[in-house]
Amino acid sequence: MSNTVHHSVVDRENDYIHAGYGLKSWLLTVDHKRIAILYLISITIFFFVGGFFAFLLRLELMTPAGDIVSAETYNKLFTMHGVVMIFFFLIPSIPAVLGNFLVPLMIGAKDLAFPKLNLMSWYVYNIGGIFALYALVNGGVDTGWTFYTPYSSTYSLSNVVPVVIGAFILGFSSILTALNFIVTIHKMRAPGLTWFKLPLFIWASYATSIITVLATPVIAITLCLLLFERLMGVGIFDPALGGDPILFQHLFWFYSHPAVYIMIIPSMGVISEVVTCFARKRIFGYKFMAYAIMAIAIFGFLVWGHHMFISGQSVYAGFVFSALSFMVAIPSAIKVFNWTATLYKGHIEFRTPILYAFGFIGLFTIGGLTGLFLASLATDVHLTDTYFVVAHFHYIMVGGAVMGYLGGIHFWWPKMTGRMYNEAWAKFSALILFVGFNLTFFPQFVLGYLGMPRRYYIYPDEFQVLNVLSTAGATILGLGYIIPMVYLLWSLRKEKNVGTNPWGATGLEWTTQSPPITHNFEKTPVVTGEPYVYQEEEKVVE
Amino acid sequence: MSQHVIPQKVYYLVFVTLILLTLVTVDVAFYNFGFLNIYIAMGIATVKATIVALYFMHLRYNPRLTWLFAGAGILWLFIMFVLTIADYITR
Amino acid sequence: MSNNSDSAVGHAHHFTDMDQQREASTLGMWTFLVTEIMFFGGLFVAYALYRSMYPEAFAEASLRLNLLLGAINTGVLICSSLTMVLAVRDAQSGKVKGLVRYLIATIVLGSAFLVIKAFEYSHKIHEHLIPGSSFQFAGPFGQQAEMFFSLYFMMTGLHAIHMIIGIGVLSVLLYQAKRGRFTAEYYSPIDVAGLYWHFVDVVWIYLFPLLYLVSRH
Ligand SMILES: [Cu+2]
C-alpha cells in the first residue's frame, strides 16, 4: 500500500481487496479470501460452460426426433455437461469458494494452515480445467461422465485421454483444499473454540474434507489405470483382454458415491447457518446436527454398490449395499427434521438467503426420498438408467447443492464484498429458480417412471409433452442463474454499505469488518460462549 | 510431538530387525504352505510396516490424533477391500 | 510444507507459535499419507482381485522377476530409511553437519534403488515383457501374465515416481540445510519429508513379497 497520493483512499479502504493492486497481487496471493475470489471466478466460468451444454441438451429434447444435433454430438454434450458440472463446478463449489473464505474467519484464524498449498490448489484446478477445455474444443468426449470401461478404455474414439487427465489433476486440487481444511480446523481454532462450539458450516467443511481425502485418491488411481489401459492397449478392465469391467465400477463408485456427499454436505452446512440466523433461534439439536454430518460422511462410504445393482454385481452384495443405503436416510432425515424444528416458532425474517434455504430443504427432501426408491433392489431394476435417476440426482445436486451454494453466496456476499445486493431482484430470482427447477425436473420423474431411458437424443412421441415442460422449465431456470450474476456484479458499483454484521448473525466472521482485513481480525478473538446464541431477540419480543 | 530425540540404538535395532525380516520373508517363500503363503508374506510385511511406522515415523511418540489419522487410512482401505472382494466371492 | 517464515527461526505469520506450526506440518503430512494409502490401495485391490482370478498365471509370471535384484533393492530402501531417520535425529539436535551427511546418504541410496530398478526394467524390455503389442509370454497364460506385468509396471512405476519426487524434495532440503536453514527449533520440513520417505519404503515392503515372491517354492 503506499504513497501519499492515495493516502485518503488507503485510510478508508483498509481491507483484503485493497491490500494490493494489479493482477500480480491476485495471481500470487496467499490470502485465503483472495483465493476464494479466484475460485469464484473460475467455477462461475465452468458453471456457465456446463449450463450451456444443458441448454443444448434440453433444446434437442424439445421434439421426439433428432433435429439439432446428431446422436454422437448428443453423447458428447451430456458427457461434457456431466464432467464440467460435477468435477469443475459442484465438487469445488462451496468448499473452494465459501469454505476458503470462511473457514479461517469462522474459527478465528489468520489464514489456512498452508496458504501456498491453497494457492497451488487453484492453479492445479485451472490446469485440470485447461485439459478439459482442450478436449472440448478438440471434439469433446462421449463416454458419459462415469467413464465406464471398456467403452472408455478401448472403443471410444473421442478425447478420453485429455478429459481423464483433467479429472485426475483436478482431484489434487480438491485434496489440497481438503488437507488444508482438516489441519486448519484441528490446529488453528481460536482460544476457547472447542469442537462443540464450532459453527455447523465448519463441521460440514470438516466432514467434506475427510471424504475428499479418503475418496479422491481412489478415483485418481482408477483413472490412472484407465489411462494405462487405453494408452498401452492392455486389458486391466477390458473383459476381452482378461480384465474385469465391474472392478472399474467398484473403484469408480467408491469415490463417486461419497462425491455426492462432497457436493451436498457443504450445502447442509450453509443451510444450517442460514436457517438459524433468519429464524432468530438456536439451531435445534446442535450436537445431533454435528454427529449427523459425520455419520453421513462415514456411512456414505458403505453404499457405493447401489449404483451397480444391474451391472452383474452379486445379488448378496446388492442386498447389503441396498440395506446400507437406507441407513444414510437416518442422519439425512435428522438434519431435515432439525432444520424444520429450528424454523418452528421462529421469528422468521424472509430475506433472500432463507428463501434458498427453504428451497434446499424441500428439494433435498424430494431428492432424498426418491433416492430410497433407487436404493431398493426391486424398484431400481425398473428405474435404472431412466429419467427417474436423472431427476433424482438433479434434485440432490442442483436442488440441493446449487441452492445451498447460491444461498451461501447471498448470505456471505456482504461479508465478501462489503456490499448488499438488490433484495427485490434477489428474491425474485430465488423464486423463479425454484419454479424453473421444479418445472424442469419434476416431469423427468414421471418420464422415468413411464420408462424413458436417459442418454438418448430421440424418444417416442408420447413423451413429448413432459419433455417440452422440462425444456420450458430449463429456460426459466437458466434465467434464474443469469439474473443473480447481474445484480451481484451490479452491487459492486455501490459504496460499501453493510457494516460488520448486516444480518445480526452470530459467528466470528461477523465480528470483523466487511470486507475483512488481510489478517482477518485486529486481535485474535477469544470464544467463551455457545454457538448460535440468538436468544436476545426472543427476549425483546417477550 | 516428535521433539523427543530417540537414542540411535533404537534406530539401529529397528534397522537390523527389518533386514532380518526381509531375509525371513524371502526364505519362507521357498517353502510351500499352501493357501497360507500369502498370509505369511503379508503378515511379515505388516510387521515390518508397523515397525517402520512406530519407530521411523515416530508414531509411537505421536499424540492420539496421529494414530486416529493413520488408523482411519487403514480402516478405509479395509472397507474398500472387503466390500469389493465380498461382491466377487458371493457371485 | 509451509515454510513461510522470513527468518530461519521465526514461525510463519499466520501461526501463533513454533509448536502450532510444527504440529500443523506433521498433521498435514499424515493426512497426505492417508491419501497415499488410498491411492496405492486401489492398485492393491486390483492386484488382489486378479491374483485370485489367475493364480497360476501370476505364479508363473512372477518367476520372471529377478528376485536377487528385488531383495537387494529392499535392503537398499531399508538402509535409506535408516539414514533418513538419522538425518531427522541430527536435525532435532541441531547437528547440521550430520544432517547434511545423512541427507546425502539417503539421496544416494534412493538413487541406487532407481538405478537397480532401471536395470530390471531394461531387462523386461529385452524379454518382451512390457505389456502392449510387443508382449510375449510362452505358455497357456499369455494374456493373464500380461495382466501381472501391467500391474507390476503400474505398481513399481508409481512407486518409482514417488521415489523420484522424494529425492527431489530431499535435494532441495539438502541445499537449504547446507545454507543453515534448519535448527533444533525449526526442522519440520526435514521431519515431514522423513515421514514421506518412510511411507514410500512401507509401500515397497508390501510390493516386494506381492510381486517377487508369489511362488518361489
Ligand atoms: Cu450413490
pLDDT tens digits, residue range A227-275?
A: 999 999 888 999 988 899 999 999 999 999 999 999 999 999 999 999 9
User: How do residues A296-340 score in pLDDT, each as one tens digit?
Assistant: 999 999 999 999 999 999 999 999 999 999 999 999 999 999 999
Selecting from C27, C41, C54 the residue whose C-beta is nearest the C-beta of A187 gives C27
CB contact under 8 A, B56 and C205: no
| Mean pLDDT calculated for residue range A513-542 | 79
In which domain, by residue range, is C128 found? Answer: 16-212
Which residues of B fall within a CB distance of 8 Å from C18?
none
- H-helix or E-strand spanning residue C2: none
Confidence of residue A540 (pLDDT cuts 50, 70, 90): very low
Selecting from C2, C32, C42 the residue whose C-beta is nearest the C-beta of A113 gives C2
Residues of chain A whose beta carbon is less than 8 angstroms from a beta carbon of chain B are 186, 210, 214, 218, 246-247, 250-251, 254, 301-302, 304-305, 313-317, 320-321
How confident is the model at residue A12, as a pLDDT? 56
CATH number at residue C153: 1.20.120.80
| Mean pLDDT calculated for residue range B53-82 | 95
CA distance B75 to chain A (A): 10
CB contact under 8 A, A316 and B79: no
- C1 falls within a domain: no
CB contact under 8 A, A234 and C43: no
Selecting from C22, C38, C74 the residue whose C-beta is nearest the C-beta of B22 gives C74
- CA A303 / ligand 1 centre spacing (Å): 7
CA distance C134 to chain B (A): 31
How confident is the model at residue A235, as a pLDDT? 86
The dihedral formed by the CA atoms of C38, C43, C49 and C55, expressed in degrees to the nearest 10: -140
Nearest residue in chain B measured CA to CA from A182: B69
- C68 falls within a domain: yes
Residue-range domain boundaries for chain A:
27-511
Assess contact for A206 and A181: CB atoms under 8 A.
Answer: yes
Phi-psi region of A504 (alpha: psi -120 to 50; beta: other; left: phi over 0): left
Residue B22 predicted with pLDDT over 70: yes
Cell reading at C41: 490401495
| Amino acid (1-letter code) at residue A340 | T
CA distance A264 to chain C (A): 21
Which residues of B fall within a CB distance of 8 Å from C37?
73-74, 76-77
Confidence of residue C134 (pLDDT cuts 50, 70, 90): confident
Nearest Cα to Cα of residue A252 among C154, B80, C146: B80
Nearest Cα to Cα of residue A455 among A79, A135, A47, A62: A79
Residue C150 predicted with pLDDT over 50: yes
Q: Measured in Å, how far apart are chain A's first and last C-alpha atoms?
A: 50
Q: Which ranges in C54-95 belong to alpha helices (H)?
A: 55-62, 67-92
| Mean pLDDT calculated for residue range A363-379 | 95
Which residues of B fall within a CB distance of 8 Å from A314?
86-88, 90-91
- C217 falls within a domain: no
* pLDDT over 90, % of chain B: 85
In the A/C pair of chains, how many CB contacts fall below 8 A? 121
Q: Which residue do the cell numbers 475427510 mark?
A: A210
Phi-psi region of B40 (alpha: psi -120 to 50; beta: other; left: phi over 0): alpha
CB contact under 8 A, C45 and A243: no
List the beta bridge partners of residue A453. A386
How confident is the model at residue A348, as a pLDDT? 92
Residue-range domain boundaries for chain B:
1-57, 63-91
Confidence of residue A473 (pLDDT cuts 50, 70, 90): very high
What is this structure's pTM? 0.94
Residue A530 predicted with pLDDT over 90: no
The dihedral formed by the CA atoms of A304, A307, A310 and A312, expressed in degrees to the nearest 10: -40
CB contact under 8 A, C49 and B84: yes
Selecting from A251, A302, A313 the residue whose C-beta is nearest the C-beta of B79 gives A302
Nearest residue in chain B measured CA to CA from C203: B49
How confident is the model at residue C214, as a pLDDT? 85
Residue A291 predicted with pLDDT over 50: yes
Burial class (CB in 10 A: 0-12, 13-18, 19+), A12: exposed
Selecting from B30, B65, B81 the residue whose C-beta is nearest the C-beta of C27 gives B65
How confident is the model at residue B2, as a pLDDT? 45
- C138 falls within a domain: yes
Assess contact for A213 and A178: CB atoms under 8 A.
Answer: yes
CA distance B67 to chain A (A): 14
Nearest residue in chain A measured CA to CA from B91: A314
The three state secondary structure string of B4-70 is CCCCHHHHHHHHHHHHHHHHHHHHHCCCCCCCHHHHHHHHHHHHHHHHHHHHHCCHHHCCHHHHHHH
User: How do residues A268-288 score in pLDDT, each as one tens digit?
Assistant: 999 999 999 999 999 999 999
A 246-285 near C (Cβ less than 8 A): 247, 250-251, 254
- C4 falls within a domain: no
Q: Which ranges in A28-99 belong to alpha helices (H)?
A: 32-60, 71-83, 91-92
Q: Does A244 touch chain C (CB under 8 A)?
A: yes
On average, the pLDDT of chain C sits at 91
Phi-psi region of A108 (alpha: psi -120 to 50; beta: other; left: phi over 0): left
How far is A96 from A93, CA to CA, in rounded Å? 6
Cell reading at A92: 469445488
- CA A396 / ligand 1 centre spacing (Å): 11
Which residues of C fall within a CB distance of 8 Å from A229?
150
Assess contact for A250 and B84: CB atoms under 8 A.
Answer: yes
- C6 falls within a domain: no
Nearest residue in chain C measured CA to CA from A104: C14
Strand, helix or coil at C176? Answer: helix
Which residues of B fall within a CB distance of 8 Å from C209?
25, 29, 41-42, 44-45
* pLDDT over 70, % of chain C: 95
| Mean pLDDT calculated for residue range C81-86 | 97
Assess contact for C45 and A251: CB atoms under 8 A.
Answer: yes
CB contact under 8 A, B83 and A317: yes
User: How do residues A190-205 score in pLDDT, each as one tens digit?
Assistant: 999 999 999 999 999 9
CB contact under 8 A, B83 and A314: no
Assess contact for A149 and A93: CB atoms under 8 A.
Answer: no
| Mean pLDDT calculated for residue range A497-511 | 91
Residue A100 predicted with pLDDT over 50: yes
Q: Packing angle between helix A286-299 and helix A245-278, nearest 10 degrees?
A: 170
User: How do residues C196-214 score in pLDDT, each as one tens digit?
Assistant: 999 999 999 999 999 999 8
- ipTM for the complex shown: 0.94
How confident is the model at residue C4, as a pLDDT? 41
CATH of domain A27-511: 1.20.210.10
| Mean pLDDT calculated for residue range C172-192 | 94
Cα A225 versus chain centre, distance: 27
- C7 falls within a domain: no
Assess contact for A433 and A406: CB atoms under 8 A.
Answer: yes
CB contact under 8 A, A301 and B79: yes
On average, the pLDDT of chain A sits at 93
Stated length of chain C: 217
Number of domains forming the structure of chain C: 1
On average, the pLDDT of chain B sits at 92
Residues with CB under 5 A from ligand 1 (ion): A 257
Which residues of C fall within a CB distance of 8 Å from B31?
217
The dihedral formed by the CA atoms of A289, A293, A295 and A299, expressed in degrees to the nearest 10: 150
Residue A165 predicted with pLDDT over 90: yes
CA distance A317 to chain B (A): 5
How far is A102 from A111, CA to CA, in rounded Å? 10
Contacting subunits of A (3+ beta carbon pairs below 8 A): B, C
How confident is the model at residue C10, as a pLDDT? 64
How far is A191 from A321, CA to CA, in rounded Å? 43
- CA A261 / ligand 1 centre spacing (Å): 9
